[in-house]
């Protein structure tokens, strides 16, 4: 089970919150607007526009993550908005119960998919050995010239922008579901698990 997280020092009075009404129960997420302003703005934008309603939890890995925000009930990919700047260097770790944006290999490629960490995942964190955007540009230039340049740095990391404050048992139930491999997904729950509706809650005092 996920631990109580209400005493975490980076939670501030007045933080916005969102409720995910899922087919397995409600999950309330407190958002770190001061530490991850662009990520929170994108998340709230998607919530306000109803873009997370009817989304499938398409990746469930016990002790790691549950992920959603990119596919509908028919397992069809949903339109992706423009990517945002990666805020993984905000000092918040991918610890159990935190919420972060998923992305592709490019540092600044997160757009709408997100995941909830169901374990402590330091491999997803930004660190002093993380690649920089300058490293990424140099690597791309080398590849454009047909050169192989092995990376000497670690991933930039995944931007944490929130934390589950209620519904930890719901996260646990989803995490424990049996999964299957398909042509598109490696860790898809055998029975569809959906976000029925995502709504913004009053700011938390």
SS (H, E, C) the chain: CCCCCCCCCCCCCCEEEEEEEECCEEEEEEECCCCCHHHHHHHHHHHHCCCCCCEECCEEECCCEEEECCEECCCCECCCCCCCCCCHHHCCCCCCCEEEECCCCCCCCCCCCEEEECCCCHHHCCCCCECCHHHHHHHHHHHHCCCCCCCCCECCCCCEEEEEEECHHHHHHHHCCCEECCCCCCCEECCCCEEEEEEEEEEEC
Out of 4-18, 45-59, 63-77, 102-116, which region has the weakest mean confidence (pLDDT)?
A: 4-18
* Residue recorded with tokens 């990391």: 157
CB atoms inside a 10 Å sphere around CB 85: 14
C-alpha distance from residue 204 to each of 45, 96, 153, 186 (Å): 19, 21, 38, 37
Per-residue confidence (pLDDT) for residue 205, from 0 to 100: 65
Q: Which is nearest to 16 in space by CA: 145, 183, 166, 205?
A: 205
CATH topology of domain 15-127+157-204: Cyclophilin (2.40.100)
* Torsion angle in degrees (nearest 10) through CA of 79, 80, 81, 85: 170
- pTM over cut 0.85: yes
* Residue spans per domain, the chain: 15-127+157-204
pLDDT tens for each residue of 89-146? 999 999 999 999 999 999 999 999 999 999 999 999 999 999 999 999 999 899 899 9
Structural contact between residues 30 and 14, judged by C-beta atoms closer than 8 angstroms: no
Per-residue confidence (pLDDT) for residue 193, from 0 to 100: 97
Structural contact between residues 157 and 125, judged by C-beta atoms closer than 8 angstroms: yes
- How far apart are alpha carbons 172 and 163 in whole angstroms? 14
The residues, ordered by sequence, that sit 6+ positions from 78 with a Cβ below 8 Å of its Cβ are 51, 55, 70, 71, 72, 112
- Mean per-residue pLDDT over the chain, rounded: 92
pLDDT tens for each residue of 146-163? 988 787 888 999 999 999
C-alpha distance from residue 2 to each of 58, 67, 119, 152, 171 (Å): 20, 16, 8, 35, 8
């Amino acid at each position: 089970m996920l631990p109580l997280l209400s005493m975490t020092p980076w939670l501030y009075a007045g933080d916005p919150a969102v409720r995910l009404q899922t087919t397995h129960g409600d999950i309330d997420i407190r958002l770190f607007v001061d530490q991850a302003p662009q990520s929170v703005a994108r998340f709230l934008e998607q919530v306000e526009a109803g873009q997370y309603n009817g989304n499938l939890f398409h990746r469930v890995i016990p002790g790691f993550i549950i992920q959603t925000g990119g596919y509908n009930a028919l397992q069809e990919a949903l339109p992706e908005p423009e990517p945002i700047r990666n805020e993984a260097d905000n000092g918040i770790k991918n610890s159990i119960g935190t919420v972060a944006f998923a992305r592709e290999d490019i540092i600044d490629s997160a757009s709408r998919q997100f995941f909830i960490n169901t374990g402590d995942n330091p491999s997803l964190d930004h660190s002093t050995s993380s690649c920089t955007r300058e490293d990424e540009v140099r690597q791309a230039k080398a590849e454009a010239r047909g050169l192989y340049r092995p990376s000497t740095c670690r991933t930039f990391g995944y931007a944490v922008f929130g934390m589950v404050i209620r519904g930890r048992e719901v996260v646990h139930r989803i995490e424990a579901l049996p999964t299957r491999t398909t042509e598109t997904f490696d860790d898809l729950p055998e029975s569809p698990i959906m976000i029925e509706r995502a709504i913004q809650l009053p700011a938390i005092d």
